[in-house]
């Protein structure tokens, strides 16, 4: 799968900025400004990867996962459900919640999903912009488990392959597809490879 995404790797090399602390800023097209052509390409790529699965809903997390998921959802023709983030838990019997650590912000958030929108009959595709240690995806998986929903796959725009989140998810047997997998990066160069 990796060669077909040479175009996206070139976009990341051209428009991404590597910052200290292994942070990749892609504010030009994905995390602040949103490039509709690039997002449409990514959405279609997720569709190609998972179109044979009986997906009923795309599950993501605010805010940066929303745009990506909207473009993918057009191809799957299913709703998007985005988990809401809050700094403090607001426990209710009507919601699923999980704790998510942010690698880049050094914070812990509580993510919340209303039970009425995620049910045991759902077959979900989890989408997110980045995968590093996998905390956001683990939080969404935890909510899906609470709901009894079936996880059909996980799609990621940019995986930091030099961190262990992707490897662990693959070891656990989840169908994980990352459009670009970064194997090494510095201020001077970004290297890509297959997902492990």
Of residues 23-52, those binding a copy of itself (CB under 8 A): 27-28, 32-36, 39-40
| Region binding a copy of itself by CB under 8 A among candidate stretches 5-13, 70-78, 126-134, 163-171 | 70-78
The string of DSSP codes covering 148-180 is: T-EEEEEEEEEEETTSSHHHHHHHTT--EEEEE
Q: For a copy of itself, which residue of 24, 42, 55, 73 counts as binding (CB under 8 A)?
A: 73
Of residues 103-142, those binding a copy of itself (CB under 8 A): 113-114, 117
Structure tokens at 40: 């449409």
39 or 135, CB closer to a copy of itself?
Answer: 39
Q: Is 84 in the site for a copy of itself (CB under 8 A)?
A: yes
154-157: long-range contacts, CB 8 A cutoff, minimum separation 24:
154/125, 154/126, 154/127, 155/46, 155/49, 155/50, 155/72, 155/125, 155/126, 155/127, 155/128, 155/179, 156/127, 156/128, 156/129, 156/130, 156/131, 157/8, 157/30, 157/42, 157/68, 157/128, 157/129, 157/130
Q: For a copy of itself, which residue of 19, 51, 79, 99 counts as binding (CB under 8 A)?
A: 79
Q: Is 174 in the site for a copy of itself (CB under 8 A)?
A: no
Q: Is 66 in the site for a copy of itself (CB under 8 A)?
A: yes
Alpha-carbon gap, residue 31 to 45, rounded angstroms: 19
Q: For a copy of itself, which residue of 41, 74, 101, 170 counts as binding (CB under 8 A)?
A: 74
* Residue 110: CB minimum distance to a copy of itself, A: 15
Q: For a copy of itself, which residue of 12, 24, 78, 140 counts as binding (CB under 8 A)?
A: 78
Question: Residues for the chain: how many in total?
Answer: 196
Asked whether the beta carbons of 162 and 140 are under 8 A apart, the reply is no
- Where do contacts with a copy of itself occur on this chain (CB under 8 A)? 27-28, 32-36, 39-40, 62-63, 66-67, 69-71, 73-74, 77-82, 84, 87, 113-114, 117
């Amino acid at each position: 799968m990796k060669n077909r995404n040479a175009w996206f790797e070139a976009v990341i090399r051209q428009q991404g900025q590597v910052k200290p602390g292994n942070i990749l800023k892609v504010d030009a097209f994905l995390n602040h400004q949103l490039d509709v052509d690039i997002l449409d390409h990514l959405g279609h790529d997720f569709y190609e990867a998972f179109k044979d699965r009986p997906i009923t809903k795309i599950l993501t997390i605010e805010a940066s996962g929303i745009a990506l998921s909207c473009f993918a959802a057009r191809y799957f023709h299913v709703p998007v459900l985005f988990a809401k983030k809050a700094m403090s838990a607001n426990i209710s019997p009507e919601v699923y919640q999980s704790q998510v650590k942010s690698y880049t912000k050094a914070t812990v958030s509580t993510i919340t999903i209303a039970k009425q929108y995620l049910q045991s009959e759902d077959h979900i595709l989890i989408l997110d912009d980045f995968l590093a240690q996998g905390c956001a995806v683990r939080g969404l998986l935890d909510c899906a488990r609470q709901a009894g929903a079936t996880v059909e796959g996980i799609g990621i725009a940019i995986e930091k392959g030099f961190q262990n989140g992707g490897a662990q998810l693959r070891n656990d047997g989840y169908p994980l597809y990352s459009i670009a997998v970064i194997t090494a990066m510095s201020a001077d160069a970004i290297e890509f490879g297959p997902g492990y």
